[in-house]
Amino acid sequence: MSERLGFIGLGIMGRGMAHNLRKAGYDLMVWNRTAARADSLRAAGAQVATSPADLAANCDVIFSCVSDTPDVQAVILGDQGVIHGVRPGALVVDMSTISPQVAREVAEALAAKDVFSLDAPVSGGSEGAEKGTLSIMVGGPADQVARAQPYFAAMGKTITHVGPSGAGQTVKLVNQILVVVNMLAVSEALVFAQASGADLEKTLQAVGGGAAGSWMLANRAPQVLNRDWRPGFTIDLQQKDLRLVLEAADQVAAPMIATSMVFHMYRTLQQSGLGAEGNHALIKALERLAGVTVGGSAPA
Ligand code: NAP
């Protein structure tokens, strides 16, 4: 008999992921703190639980995708949390981006109840969540990764078992270092091009296909040129991830020179009320220092 699945956290990411599990035909129960956000899943045939504990009591494999470390602690270990309903032998898969250390602590608390767990954060944005094309970085025991594989395949395209418990979160933080430092390079390059009077469209055409090409350059630089700050990933959530990077790096004494610089640049943007803009709005911090505006004619 196939396993019954549960999904906690139906935000920008979780909603698309849960819908993809339903589309793949799985028996699904969902829970979201703001109940109205579960309506589309109910309409798609999912059952709606009254609490994470209620959901856990009725499911074999429980997924969660909520905002930050304390939120995962709340839905898994809190008063109405998964841990109070979950059955021995069940599997809990957290797909939020959180502290690797807390991911290991949550796994230990669940293991004490004979419950398995995986940390499986994702990359690929809201678009990837909706289309089922996410990259999923998984930490935990191999047999449980194999157990979750068909469910991951409904939500993502690139599924990589990267190591033991917590390793998924560590690799996700590696991903975030690469993303933001690359965005810093894109920003600095565009400010220089603008200040030098280069044709920006032609500049992107010329450098995009060579050694300097990247996903951020291809996807976010054109948005910058159009002064389009709609988020694929907000500055607020990006900043949360950089805080996790800096905390984890501190524990292993790894210097984070460029990442900490970007962390503080994003902070200046948050302080000016831009936290809901996309992470490519990083360029605004450099524009202010340089006294130039890239692309569109009006200053931001
Ligand atoms: P979101 O749209 O803000 O949704 C957050 C979800 O978490 C909502 O369902 C929210 O419930 C729930 N939640 C937050 N705090 C909670 C708490 N204390 N108790 C119960 N539920 C709580 O965020 P998102 O973009 O889906 O991101 C979710 C996770 O995926 C984050 O860890 C993020 O870093 C990661 N991620 C996001 C992206 C992206 O492009 N957006 C990409 C990769 C990874 P309510 O509806 O009640 O607020």
**Better-predicted residue by pLDDT, 2 or 93:** 93
- Kindly state whether residue 23 falls inside one of the protein's structural domains: yes
Query: How would residue 9 be classed by pLDDT, with cut points 50, 70 and 90?
Result: very high
Say yes or no: 22 and 119 in one domain. Answer: yes
Q: Which pLDDT belongs to residue 298?
A: 43
- Kindly state whether residue 297 falls inside one of the protein's structural domains: no
Q: Which pLDDT belongs to residue 299?
A: 42
CB 107 within 8 A of CB 140: yes
Please identify, among 164, 180, 208, the residue that sits at the C-terminal boundary of a domain.
Answer: 164
The mean pLDDT value for 138-158 works out to 98
- Kindly state whether residue 253 falls inside one of the protein's structural domains: yes
Residues 6+ apart with CB under 8 A from 263: 239, 242, 243, 245, 246
Say yes or no: 201 and 224 in one domain. Answer: yes
Residue 210: give the domain boundaries: 171-290
How many angstroms separate the Cα of 97 from the Cα of each of 112, 122, 162, 265, 279? 23, 8, 15, 21, 16
236 C-alpha to ligand 1 centroid (Å)? 12
CB 136 within 8 A of CB 120: yes
Please identify, among 144, 164, 184, the residue that sits at the C-terminal boundary of a domain.
Answer: 164
11 C-alpha to ligand 1 centroid (Å)? 5
Say yes or no: 253 and 159 in one domain. Answer: no
Percent of the chain at pLDDT above 70?
98
Q: Which atom of ligand 1 is nearest to the CA of 9?
A: 9
The domain spanning residue 98 has which CATH number? Answer: 3.40.50.720
Say yes or no: 139 and 206 in one domain. Answer: no
Query: Alpha-carbon distance 20 to 145, whole Å?
Result: 19
Residues lining ligand 1, CB < 6 A? 9-14, 32-34, 37, 65-67, 71, 74-75, 96-97, 122-123, 125-126, 232-233, 237, 241
Q: Which atom of ligand 1 is nearest to the CA of 13?
A: 26
- Quickly tell me which residue has 């109940």 as its tokens: 35
Q: Which pLDDT belongs to residue 17?
A: 98
Give residue-wise pLDDT tens across range 186-203: 999 999 999 999 999 999
Q: Which atom of ligand 1 is nearest to the CA of 233?
A: 40
Name the token pair of 284.
């605004």
Geometric angle at alpha carbon 251, from 245 and 256, rounded to 5°:
45
E-only strand ranges, the chain: 5-8, 28-31, 47-48, 61-64, 91-94, 116-119, 122-123, 134-139, 156-163
Residue 251 has pLDDT above 90, yes or no: yes
The mean pLDDT value for 19-29 works out to 98
Tell me the pairing of strands 122-123 and 116-119: unpaired
- Quickly tell me which residue has 């799985």 as its tokens: 26
3-class DSSP assignment, residue 261: helix
- Positive or negative: CA dihedral 160, 164, 17, 216: negative
Query: How would residue 172 be classed by pLDDT, with cut points 50, 70 and 90?
Result: very high
Number of domains in the chain: 2
Q: Which pLDDT belongs to residue 300?
A: 42
Say yes or no: 156 and 27 in one domain. Answer: yes
- Kindly state whether residue 241 falls inside one of the protein's structural domains: yes
- Kindly state whether residue 117 falls inside one of the protein's structural domains: yes
Give residue-wise pLDDT tens across range 112-134: 999 999 999 999 888 899 999 99
Half-sphere exposure of 152 (CA within 13 A, CB side): 24
- Kindly state whether residue 299 falls inside one of the protein's structural domains: no
Q: Which atom of ligand 1 is nearest to the CA of 98?
A: 32
Which residue has the least CA distance to atom 30 on ligand 1?
A: 96
* Pocket test residue of 10, 30, 33, 220 for ligand 1, highest count of atoms within 8 A of CB: 33
Residue 109 has pLDDT above 60, yes or no: yes
The mean pLDDT value for 250-269 works out to 98
228: exposed, middle or buried (Cβ count in 10 Å: 0-12, 13-18, 19+)? middle
CB 94 within 8 A of CB 103: yes
Please identify, among 164, 179, 207, the residue that sits at the C-terminal boundary of a domain.
Answer: 164
298 C-alpha to ligand 1 centroid (Å)? 34
Say yes or no: 127 and 77 in one domain. Answer: yes
- Kindly state whether residue 52 falls inside one of the protein's structural domains: yes
The mean pLDDT value for 249-262 works out to 98
Give residue-wise pLDDT tens across range 270-299: 999 999 999 999 999 999 999 999 996 544
Say yes or no: 64 and 160 in one domain. Answer: yes
- Kindly state whether residue 264 falls inside one of the protein's structural domains: yes
Say yes or no: 144 and 179 in one domain. Answer: no
Which residue has the least CA distance to atom 38 on ligand 1?
A: 125
* Pocket test residue of 76, 237, 238 for ligand 1, highest count of atoms within 8 A of CB: 237
Say yes or no: 18 and 149 in one domain. Answer: yes
Q: Which atom of ligand 1 is nearest to the CA of 241?
A: 34
Say yes or no: 127 and 181 in one domain. Answer: no
Say yes or no: 28 and 144 in one domain. Answer: yes
234 C-alpha to ligand 1 centroid (Å)? 11
Say yes or no: 150 and 214 in one domain. Answer: no
Residue 135 has pLDDT above 50, yes or no: yes
Q: Which pLDDT belongs to residue 1?
A: 58
The mean pLDDT value for 213-221 works out to 95
How many angstroms separate the Cα of 130 from the Cα of each of 67, 118, 124, 125? 18, 22, 10, 9
* Pocket test residue of 8, 12, 72 for ligand 1, highest count of atoms within 8 A of CB: 12
Tell me the pairing of strands 91-94 and 61-64: parallel
Residues 6+ apart with CB under 8 A from 51: 31, 80, 85
97 C-alpha to ligand 1 centroid (Å)? 9
**Average pLDDT for the chain:** 96
**Residues involved in catalysis:** 172
Name the token pair of 143.
């047999």
**Better-predicted residue by pLDDT, 115 or 233:** 115
The domain spanning residue 236 has which CATH number? Answer: 1.10.1040.10
How many angstroms separate the Cα of 177 from the Cα of each of 56, 172, 182, 261, 285? 34, 9, 8, 11, 18
- Quickly tell me which residue has 């395209």 as its tokens: 157
Q: Which pLDDT belongs to residue 267?
A: 98
